[in-house]
Amino acid sequence: MKSPSANTKLNQWVQESAAMCQPDDICWCDGSVEEYNRFMAQMVASGMAIPLKKRPNSFLFRSDPSDVARVEDRTYISTPTKLEAGPTNNWIDPGELKATMRGFYKGCMRGRTMYVIPFSMGPIGSPLAKIGIEITDSPYVVCNMHIMTRVGTRVLDALGQDGEFIPCLHSIGAPLEKGRKDTAWPCAPIEQKYISHFPQENLIWSYGSGYGGNALLGKKCLALRIASAVARREGWMAEHMLILRLTNPEGRRFHIAAAFPSACGKTNLAMINPTIAGWKAECIGDDISWMKIGPDGRLYAINPESGFFGVAPGTSYNSNRSAMDSIKANTIFTNCALTDDGDIWWEGFDGKPPAHAIDWKGRDWTPASKSDAAHPNARFTAPAKQCPVISPDWEKLEGVPIDIFIFGGRRASVVPLVHEAYNWDHGVFMGSTAASETTAANIGAVGNLRRDPFAMTPFCGYNMGDYFQHWFAMGDKLGAKAPRIFYVNWFRKSPAGKWLWPGYSENSRVLKWMCDRVGGKVGARETPIGLLPLEGELDLTGLSIPAQDFAELMRVDVPAFKAEVPDMEKHFNRFGDRLPARLSAQLKLLVQRLG
């Protein structure tokens, strides 16, 4: 197929990739509905996709059991020196890594079509947007990228003859010999999977996996790992954050960006339905925020994605009504169960479990089965525009001005429901020491405390000590116009193990207090760890929380915080002389306040 692009650099890269990967054909994707439908029909015919009778234009896929999630131990940040990658990243020398991967790439697309996907992260024409080109041999990837990014000829028009783009090379790593039948989910064995990033070159190479963030290279690979490095160089921010708009009864708008590790309710918060009368919430993004300082000196954010790639298990009308309404049609489901009436199902779904289903491995399943019907990391890919609470401004080219940053984690004890940073430096300290107790969604023993600074540990594309410094640099530029910083913990339990806070939509009460703080409507009391609500100023109208439970929920456990100081010191020591002195100073101040 003849190239529709006038960009010499792009055409040369496509030709070089084709010479290395040796596909049978090359297809330049135009982003049209017709193209999406054509590829999906091909995958239905091959047995890879299963149409869902109950959901219009929706399909179920089952991945290979070896290819079900991001593979952190096979994900690399390849910088000229190991120090530049830092202690939180896997590092291989760029020359060595490229030589290894070129060996795998040679002939890897034989028997397959090479798809060239021009995509924009962010609305086309936005000053915050970036263009990527993904080369892949997976039609599943093409259809998911259609939903998750802006794909097609409009991107090539924006790129023009000499525009810059981020090259993203992907292969499932399963050449198809002539006469051989394809598998339902072709991929390479785990030891051949490589998800590699070369930040100095703005380059992404992925091999062997067809799943999620390993294969949809606009997502974590470009939008966080590469973008974080670009953002540092160019003076902006690429963060693992939802973006939410809250409007109070007087009509004042507040924009919130929030970072949480996995299993801490990020998507639920992004699509929250407030329980407080007169307050309205709108979703702008559920996963990634790109932010630049605008002409007025404030920080403006866009959601660079155009879809939701959400975890299915646990999502229900009880936990997230808006997400459920978003996936009624035009959705790709992966590794969910299939019911006998042609719908999907997963653990945590509304209503009774089906009497019989086909599980994510294609086996019969009943409620008596010992294994889960859906994989714990089963996913849905749905267009953001289908979300009933999506903001009318979610694609605003200049973005929205951020008033509030929130960090948080899953803690059964120690950390109160909410507290505010004393200042920007203290807020950066709170983000840099953010911690969560591990769940079944994390690798490691359940209940262990894991530091996940800014929820960016798996996604920072350079030395995290330098990343902390970049936060300080951005705060210095923003000055008095910097967003206020808060920390939350929805998951505190009583000593007897009972949840102290109802969570979900009731979290809007905590958001209201934050907005009222920004608006100067409520005060706060000083504690060793930060500013907490004054008595009676967190709106509990209509909630029946016993006074002793609320007191425990808001208690600052000084001895427990003191006991955590050595772990914070150990965490900071990992970064050696790359740790900003301002963070060490904040730790000393905390120790002084704890007494």
Just list the catalytic residues: 264
Query: Per residue in 122-144, is it b (16+ CB within 10 Å) or e — as a string?
Result: bbbebebbbbbbbbbbbbbbbbb
Q: How would you write 341-382 as a 3-class SS string?
A: CCCEECCCCCCCCCCCEECCCCCEECCCCCCCCCCCCCEEEE
- Where are the strands (E) in 172-266, listed by range? 194-198, 203-207, 237-239, 242-247, 253-259
Closest by alpha carbon to 333, among 384, 383, 380, 386? 380
DSSP 218: I
Q: Which residues pair with 60 in a beta bridge?
A: 50, 333
Closest by alpha carbon to 87, among 586, 571, 516? 571
d(CA 78, CA 89): 9
Contact 53, 343 (CB under 8 A): yes
Residue 160: strand, helix, or coil: coil
DSSP 273: -
Closest by alpha carbon to 253, among 365, 124, 403? 403
Residue 155: strand, helix, or coil: helix
Q: How many CB atoms lie within 10 A of CB 288?
A: 25
Contact 288, 238 (CB under 8 A): yes
d(CA 446, CA 226): 31
d(CA 428, CA 221): 24
3-state helix, strand, coil in the chain (%, to 5): 30, 20, 45
d(CA 73, CA 209): 13
d(CA 340, CA 65): 22
**CA 17 to mean position of chain CA atoms:** 29
Q: How would you write 39-104 as a 3-class SS string?
A: HHHHHHHHCCEEECCCCCCCEEECCCCCCCCCCHHHEEECCCCHHHHCCCCECCCHHHHHHHHHHH
Between the CA atoms of 502, 506, 508 and 513, what dihedral angle is there, to the nearest 10 degrees?
A: -70
Q: Which helix (H) or strand (E) holds 561?
A: helix 558-573
